[in-house]
Structure 1
Amino acid sequence: MTQFGRAAAGALALLSTTAAFAAPAPYAHVLLISIDGMHAVDLAEHAARHPNGALARLSRAGVTYRQAMTPLISDSFPGLAAQVTGGGPATTGVYYDDSYDRTLFPAGSGCKGEAGTEVPFASEIDVDPKRADAGGTIGKPMTQIDAAKLPLRLTGTVCAPVYPHDYLRANTIFEVVHGHGGRTAWADKHPAYEWLAGPSGQGLDELYAVEQDALIPGTKVKTTGSFAAERDFDEKHVAAVLNMMRGLDGTGAGKVGVPALFGMNFQAVSVGQKLPKAGPGDPPEAKGGYADASSRPNDGLAAQFDYVDGALGRLVEGLKVNGLDGTTLIVLSSKHGQSPIDPAGLRPTDDAPYEKLPGHAFHDADDGALIWLKPSERAAKLPEALAALEKDRAALGIGTLYPPAAVAALFADPATDSRAPDIMVGTDPGVVYTSGKKGAEHGGLALEDRNVPLVVAGPGIAARTVATPVGTAEIAPTILKALGYVPEELQAVKAENTRSLPGLPF
C-alpha cells in the first residue's frame, strides 16, 4: 500500500473523456507500456483519426506530455534505462544494446590478451536466437542466455562472465519495488532484458521474453520481416501481461500474485516503420513506413498502429475485469522514435568507411554513429580517425562530429570512462545506415528519434496537456512516488537530480 492511505474505490476512468478526480489516489500497481518507434506526433495523428480508440481515450483521460524526449542517444537500451533508472548513459553506463567496454574481455578468451571488447546484449547471447524461446524456457531468462557467449570481467585472478544485469551501473525501479516486497514483472523482445533486474540481479521477479529475432516457423525469415509476424510476436507478450493481471505468471500456469510494477513493450510499430514491404503472412501489396511528411502511415504501418491500439484497449479492459482499475497507474511512452518520417528524405548510406578508420575497434551505426578506438592505439590514432571522418563527411552523411572533448561534455570522458565512445556522429536528416532494406532507424540524435509519446493516466489524474519539455528519465521517479517510495532510492535520480514529471497530483 502506498503513502497516500486507503485505496481509491471505483473504476479507473482511463477511457472516459470527462473523468477527473479531486484528490490524489493511492496506487497499488503501475503498468508501464512502451510502444517502440512511436513519435509524439503519431499519438496525436492516430488519436485524431481514431477518436474512439484506446490511445485517444487514454490520452484524453490522462496527462499528455507533448515534448517528451528520450536520452540523447536514442537506442532501445538507453531509452528504457532512462525510464527505469532516472538517468542517462553517463550514469547507467548503457550507451547501446551492442556497445564496447575497454576493461572487459571477449567471450571465450579466458580474460587473456588485451582488454577491450564488443558487448552485444541482444539475440547474440541467446542459446539459440533462431527459436522463439531462445533455446531455453520463456519466463526464465537465465535458461535462455548462453554464458559462453558473454563478455568476461577479470577481478583479481577470477575471470567471470558479465550478464546484462552485471553491466548496469545504477539500480532500477524494479529493484526498489522488489526490495520493498512488491512483485515485479516485464515482457520484452530479448532475454538480455534481464538487465532490468538491476546490478543486484534480484529486482525482476519475472522476465517474459520471446525472442524477436527468431525465424518465422516454416521460413528463413526473422519475425521482423513480416508485419503480421511482428503483431503475433507482440500478442504473446500481451497475453503474458493479461495473465499477470490475473495474479498468474506470464505463462498462466502459476499463481504468484499481481505485480506492483509490471509492463511490456510493443515492437509492431517499430517494425512497421522500418519494413518497406510485405513479408510472410502479409497482404502482398502491404507497404511499411509513412506516406508523406505529415506522418500519415502506409497500410502496413497503419495495421501495426491499429493492432497496438486494440491491444492497449484489451490491457485496460484487463485491469477493469480483474478489479485493478481503481488502484493502477498507467504510464505509456516509448524507448525511442524512428527517423525519418518523410520517405522522400530517406538517405540509405553505407557505413563501411567506419570499419576502416585508423585504430577502429568497434562502432554502432543506425541513424547516428558511436565509435570506439582500440585502447592501446587511441592516443596515436585519434587525430587520424578524426581527419578520416572529416574527409568522408559527405559520403557518411555526417552533420555534426563530436570528438572526445564533446563526448566528455555530453556524457563521460572516454579517456577515463571504459564505455564512453571516443567519437560520436550526428547525421544529416534522413541518413540511415542500411543496405537499402530499411525505411527508418533509431539510435541517433534527431528530433524524430527522440520526441516520443508520454501519457500518465489513472485514478486521481485530471486530464490535461503539458507543453513543457520533459525527459523520459522523469518516468522513473514518478513511478516510485506513485507507489509510495522515495525517488532518491534510485542512484541515477540522486546523481543527476532527476525530477518527477510535472502536472501530477502526487
Structure 2
Amino acid sequence: MRRLFRSILLGSLAVMPAFAMQQAQAAGTPYKHVLLISVDGLHAIDVANYVASHPAGALAGLTQHGLFYPNALTTAPSDSFPGLVAQVTGGTPAVTGVFYDDSFDRTYFAPGSNCQGAPGTEVSFAENVDKDTDRLDGGGTPGQATTQIDPAKLPVVLVNGKCTTVFPHDFVRVNNIFEVVKQHGGRTAWSDKHPAYEWLNGPSGKGLDDFYALEQDSLIPGTKVKTTGSFKAERDFDEARVKVLINEMRGLDSTGTTKEPVPALFGMNFQAVSVGQKLPKSGPGDEAGLTGGYADAAATPNSGLAKQLDYVDGALGELFAALRDNKLDDSTLVVVASKHGQSPIDSATFQPLDDDPYSKTPGYGFHIADDASLIWLKPQDREKNLAAAAAYLEKSIKTLGIGQVLTPNQLALAYQDPARDSRTPDFIVTVNPGVVYTSGSKIAEHGGANASDRSIALLVSGPGIQPKTITALVQTTQVAPTVLRALGYDPAELQAVVKEDTQELPGTPF
C-alpha cells in the first residue's frame, strides 16, 4: 500500500551484446558474476530511439538478446543517491533514510561542531567532502577512498554520549548487495563519480573490496571549467572508469597493478548522457557548435547529446568484448539501469526559476531544489511553524512553478512521519513539467517526480535469458533481489527487501 501510494503520489534492458553471449548455462543456474551498469539520465525512450537508428549497436544487441523493461521507474525523489541506493538495497527512502545526496538530519550536528549547539544540520555526501574538489583524484589516491575524503567536512552525531563522525557508509540505514556477496565470500568492486560513493560499503563499512572513484566536479586541466562543462571531458571521465572494469575482468585490481579474482559483483555508472542532457553548448575540448538536450518532445537528441549516446553505446560494446575476451560471457549476468532520468525532454516547456524563495519559508531549516524541492524546518520550533510554512508554500505556487505541495501527513503515508523520523522532509514540492531551479546555464535536471525524471532504462541479459519486452510496471528497487537471486543467494538477506516486500524483476529464469 505504501509503495503504491508513493508511486501515485510522486509521480530497460537486458544486456546481451551484439555478439550474443553464449547460452552455456541452463535456465535456473546461478551466475558466477553480475555486472551492474547505471547509465545516468538514460530513459526507456532514449533506448528505443537509439536502437531504431543504430540497429547494429550494443544497445540494440541488448534488446535483441535480453529482457527490456520499457515501464521501469526509479525512486521519487529521483536523485542519484536514492536512485542507486534503490538498486543495491531494494529499498525506497522510506526504509533507507536516503532522500537526496544533499539533505538534512534532525539528529546530526554540523561538521566541526563537536556536537555542540542544537541538533539538525545539512548532510551532503557529494564533491563537498573531498579533500580537494578541483582535482580529478579528489585530493587523494583513487582506489583508496579514505585518502580522498576529508573527515573534517563530515557531519557528526552523538553515539552513546560520544561525538562521532558520520562517514558516507554510516548514512544508509539498511544493508546492500555488496555486503551480502562479501558475506558469502565473493569479491566486490564499484566505480563512481564521487569518493563519497564510499557509502556503497554499507553500514558494515566492508561491502566493497575495491572502490575506485574519480571526482566528476573537478576542473578540466588548464581551465576553470568543471568536467561537467564539456561533452568530451565527461566522456573521458567515463572512459577512465571503463578501463577500471576491464582491469577487473582481466583478474586485476581497479588500478591494474595487483592480481585479484574477478569480482562476483562489480560495475560502474556512466555520466556522459546525463551531462549531454544538461549542458547547453560546447565546452573546452569540444568541437564548436554542439548543442545538448533534445530537439523535440519525441526525445530526438541534439548533436551534443547524440555524441554522448554514441559514446555510451561504444563503451558498452567495449565492456561486452572484454567479457568475451576474458571468457566471462557465459557466466555473467549484465544489468543496465539508470539512477535517474532527466527533465524536461521537451525543451519548449523548459522554465528556469530561482529557488531562493524556499529559504524564506517560516521556520526554515534547509532545502534542496533541482526540479523538485525538499524542505526541512528547524526541528526545535517545527510544530509552531508548520501551518505558516504550508501557507507560504501554497501562496508561492505560481512564483515557484509548483505542481503540488506534499504535506507532513501525506509524507507520513508515503515515507515516514517527519515528526518522528530524523530524515523525512517536512514538505516535498513537485513542479510543473519543465520547471528547473537554476541560476546557471543547465537546460535539464533530475531529482523530481515527473515522468521524465522517473522513467528510466532497464535491461537484463545473460546466458539462459530469452529476449522479451516486459511491459509490466517495475521499480529499480527490484534490481537488488534479482542480482542476489542470480548469484544464488536469498534476497531476504537484504533488510529493505524484507521490510518493503520487494519482488524480483519479472521474466528472469533463475
Tell me the SS of whatever aligns to 1:407: helix
Q: Which residue of 2 aligns with 1:428?
A: 432
In 2, Cα distance between equivalents of 1:486 and 1:417: 29
SS of 2:333 mapped into structure 1: strand
Provide TM-score, normalisation by structure 1: 0.96
For 1:422-501, list aligned pairs within 5 A: 422-501=426-505
Asked if 1:309 corresponds to 2:326, the answer is no
In structure 2, which of residues 334, 340, 346 is the aligned counterpart of residue 336 of structure 1? 340
Which moved further from structure 2: 487-496 or 245-254?
245-254
Match of 1:48 in 2: 52
Query: In structure 2, how many angstroms separate the alpha carbons of the residues matched to 1:344 and 1:458?
Result: 40
**Counterpart in 2 of 1:414?**
418
Partner SS for 2:63: helix
Q: Which residue identity is paired with 1:227?
A: F
- Is the 8 Å Cα contact of residues 403 and 424 (structure 1) preserved in structure 2? yes
Please name the residue that 1:14 is paired with: 17
Rounded to whole Å, the distance in 2 between the matches of 1:24 and 1:298 is 43
Provide the residue aligned with 1:9 in structure 2.
none
How much does 1:160 deviate? 1.2
Q: Is the 8 Å Cα contact of residues 14 and 458 (structure 1) preserved in structure 2? A: no
Among candidates 127, 130, 138, match of residue 131 of structure 2: 127
Question: Hey, what's the Cα distance between the residues in 2 that align with 1:206 and 1:230?
Answer: 23
Among candidates 340, 354, 357, match of residue 353 of structure 1: 357
Normalising to structure 2: TM-score of the pair? 0.96
Distance in 1 between the 2:97 and 2:26 partners? 41
Residue 73 of structure 1, CA deviation: 1.0
What letter is aligned with 2:422? S
How much does 1:385 deviate?
A: 1.0
Matched AA of 1:480: L
CA distance in 2, matches of 1:480, 1:458: 15
Identity over aligned pairs, percent: 61
> CA contact under 8 A between 1:367 and 1:443: conserved in structure 2?
yes
What is the letter of the counterpart of residue 478 of structure 2? Answer: E
Q: Which residue is 2:6 aligned to?
A: none
Amino acid at match of 2:70: R
Matched-pair contact (CA < 8 Å) for 1:405–1:413 = yes
Q: Distance in 2 between matches of 1:322 and 1:17?
A: 15
Q: Distance in 1 between matches of 2:440 and 2:257?
A: 44
- Equivalent of 1:282, from 279, 286, 310? 286
- Is the aligned partner of 1:234 residue 2:225? no
The residue aligned with 1:59 is 63
Out of 155, 158, 179, the residue aligned to residue 154 of structure 1 is 158
| Displacement after TM superposition at 1:65 (Å) | 0.6
| Residue 297 of structure 2: aligned partner | 293
Structure 1 Cα separation of the partners of residues 77 and 277 of structure 2: 19
Task: Measure, in 1, the Cα distance between the counterparts of 2:437 and 2:473.
Answer: 29
Displacement, 1:14?
A: 3.4
What is the CA–CA distance in structure 2 between the aligned matches of 1:493 and 1:237, rounded to whole Å?
30
Partners of 1:106 and 1:19 in 2: how far apart? 53
Q: 1:83 aligns with which of 60, 83, 87?
A: 87
Is structure 2 residue 262 aligned with structure 1 residue 258? yes
- 1:440-487 alpha-carbon deviations (Å, 9 max, x no partner): 000000110111111000000000010000000000000000000000
Q: How large is the RMSD of aligned CA atoms in angstroms?
A: 1.2
Residues 386-441 of structure 1 show CA distances to partners (whole Å, capped at 9, x for unaligned) of 11111111010000110100111111110000000000001001000012411100
1:184–1:261 contact (8 Å) kept in structure 2: yes
Native 8 Å contact 1:183 1:260 kept in 2: yes
- For 2:359 and 2:283, locate their aligned partners in 1 and report how far apart those are by CA, in whole Å: 31
* 1:92 has 2:121 as partner: no
Pairing 1:107-126 to 2, within 5 Å after superposition: 107-126=111-130
CA deviation profile, 1:321-366 (whole Å, cap 9, x unmatched): 0010010000000000000001101010110100111111110100
- Residue-by-residue CA offset, 1:298-327 (whole Å, 9 max, x unaligned): 000000000000000000000000010010
DSSP 3-state at the match of 1:185: strand
The Cα of 1:24 is off from its aligned counterpart by 3.2
CA deviation string 1:145-164 (max 9, x = no partner): 00000000111331111001
User: How has the CA–CA distance of structure 1 residues 181 and 436 changed in structure 2, closer, same or farther, with 3 Å as cutoff?
Assistant: same
SS at match of 1:251: coil
For residues 76-108 of structure 1, the C-alpha deviation after alignment (integer angstroms, 9 at most, x for no partner) is: 011000000000001111100011000000000
Instruction: Tell me which stretches of 4 or more aligned residues in structure 1 moved more than 6 Å.
Output: 17-22
CA distance in 2, matches of 1:45, 1:337: 15
Given that residues 13 and 19 in structure 1 are in contact (C-alpha distance below 8 angstroms), is that contact kept between their aligned partners in structure 2?
no
Per the alignment, residue 3 of structure 2 pairs with none
Equivalenced residues, count: 495
Which amino acid letter does the alignment assign opposite residue 261 of structure 1?
Answer: L
1:115-164 deviation line (CA, Å, top 9, x unaligned): 00000100000000110100011011111000000000111331111001
Aligned with 2:323: secondary structure?
helix
Q: For 1:81 and 1:13, locate their aligned partners in 2 and report how far apart those are by CA, in whole Å.
A: 24
2:11 aligns with: none
Q: Deviations over 1:206-262 (max 9, x none)?
A: 111000000000000000000000000001110101101011111101111100000
**Aligned match of 1:318:** 322
Equivalent residue for 1:218? 222
Structure 2 counterpart of 1:170, from 170, 174, 183: 174
**Compared with structure 1, are the counterparts of its residues 175 and 437 closer, same or farther at alpha carbon in structure 2 (3 Å cutoff)?**
same
SS at match of 2:380: coil
Conservation of the 8 A alpha-carbon contact between 1:25 and 1:459: no
SS at match of 1:216: coil
Partner in structure 2 of residue 33 of structure 1: 37
- In the alignment, the residues of structure 2 paired with residue 283 and residue 336 of structure 1 have an alpha-carbon distance, to the nearest angstrom, of 28
Work out whether 1:267 is the aligned partner of 2:246.
no
- Aligned partner of 1:505 in structure 2 is 509
Q: CA deviation at 1:25?
A: 3.7
Match of 1:395, SS? Answer: coil
Q: Distance in 1 between matches of 2:408 and 2:16?
A: 50
Give the aligned partner of residue 8 of structure 2.
none
> Is the alpha carbon distance of 1:30 and 1:22 closer, same or farther for their aligned partners in structure 2, counting shifts above 3 Å?
closer
Aligned 8 A contact 1:24 1:461 in 2 = no
**Structure 2 residue aligned with 1:243:** 247
Matched-pair contact (CA < 8 Å) for 1:37–1:335: yes
Kindly state the Cα deviation for residue 16 of structure 1 after the two structures are TM-superposed. 5.1
> Unpaired segments of 5 or more residues in structure 2?
1-14
Bigger mean CA deviation after superposition, 41-50 or 23-32: 23-32
Conserved? CA contact 1:19–1:61, under 8 Å: no
